Structure formats: C-alpha cells, structure tokens
Amino acid sequence: MLPASAHVLLNIALRTGVIYLLVLIGVRLSGKREVGQMTPFDLVLLLLLSNSVQNAMTGPDTSLVGGMVAATVLLVLNYFVADLSGANRRFRKFIQGQPSMLIHDGEVIEAHMAKEHVSMDDLERALRAHGISDYHQVAIGVLEVDGSISFLLRRHQSHRAHPPGSPQRHSEKTITRDVRLRHWVGHLASVEFRKSHPNLAKNAR
C-alpha cells in the first residue's frame, strides 16, 4: 500500500497528464493560424485557461512537491511528444498538421482560407509584412504549420524586384524558404488534383 502522500502525488501526475493531452488536442483543433497569431481575446483565453487548469492539475494540494510533480510531468510529456513527432511522420502530421496552400498563381483559394480561418485582412497583413502590395504578384502562398504565411513571387515579379544589372542578394533564410515552398507546391498540387479528379487518380494507380 502506498502512503497517503504518494496517492496524492500520483493523482496529481494523472491529472496533469490528462490536462496536457486535452489542451494539446484543443490547440491542434483550433487551427494553425491560431497558433501563429495572438489576438487580444486569444490572450484572455490563454490567461483564463492557465488559471482554470491549474486547479484541475493539482486539486486541493498547494504544496511545493505537488507543483514540482506537475511541472515534471508536463516537461516529460512534452519531451516524449516532441521526440515521437520527430521520429514518426504520421504522428507529426496529426500533431502539427500540414501546410495549406492559400494562393496559387495569383488567385486566392477561398475554400482553404475558410478552412484555416484565415481572413483577407490576415492575408493582406502577411503580404505587407513581406513587402508585397498585391496577392496577384504571388505564385504560391502557403500557410505553414507554425501559423506563418510564406510567399513565392511569380518569376516576372522577381525580375521586376531585381532589375537587370542590379545586385541580387538572397539570404540563407530566403533560399531555404523558397526551396521549402517549391517542395510543397508539388505535394499540395498533387493533393488538390486527387481531390478534384478522384477517378483519374484511381486509374493512375
């Protein structure tokens, strides 16, 4: 038989594990855009959520040991989730989701915008942050898994941004982003083709 204090600590550990999984699933279901931006009501929700789950994790126990147990469980669970996410592609897709194409060849994909809860104001704000005045200049716009929006300009727009004879400077971050976007262009385009032409995709197999 375990002593009473051990039962209390075990109860705290179990409560903390359940709350962690519940919040993790809730954040995942809220969408990628909610993770990447923090509006005033998101901040209010975060503060209220942290205060409400604190009592759910520790219960009536307010001791230092109880808090240490809860913190340790959270750190261990987060470590294993991150480790499993890096090793298992399906689990990573479930936890992080996958990038969503918002703009293709200068046209906004409204169905994807609605699905990801991205408004035109959000899209235009991201365009301005990248120094782009109009989404028609964009070849590919992708909502990344971290909630940020990446853009790849059309080829003639890139040339216009760098006139002949002018030095072109490409940072390592920009090159990496462009390579990643080009990789996802083919992947997302194939997914959209299979959705739009299920019979052709089935025959191709």
Distance (Å, rounded) from C-alpha 157 to C-alpha 84? 41
pLDDT in the model for residue 173: 47
| Percentage of the chain lying above the pLDDT 90 cut | 8
At 93-136, the pLDDT tens digits run: 887 778 889 999 889 998 988 888 888 988 998 899 899 988 89
Q: Does 185 share its domain with 126?
A: yes
Domain boundary among the residues 96, 113, 132 is at 96
- Per-residue pLDDT tens over the stretch 46-104: 777 777 787 788 777 778 888 888 889 999 998 998 888 888 888 888 877 788 899 99
Domain, as residue range, for 200: 100-204
Q: Is residue 4 over pLDDT 60?
A: no
- CATH number, domain containing residue 125: 3.30.240.20
Q: Decide: pTM greater than 0.75.
A: no
DSSP letters for 84-115: HHHH-HHHHHHHH---EEEEETTEE-HHHHHH
pLDDT at 194 over 80: no
CB burial of residue 160 (10 Å; 0-12, 13-18, 19+): exposed
In the block, tokens 């080009």 appear at 182
Number of domains in the chain: 2
Q: Which of 98-107, 147-156, 171-180, 190-199 shows the lowest per-residue confidence on average (mean pLDDT)? A: 171-180
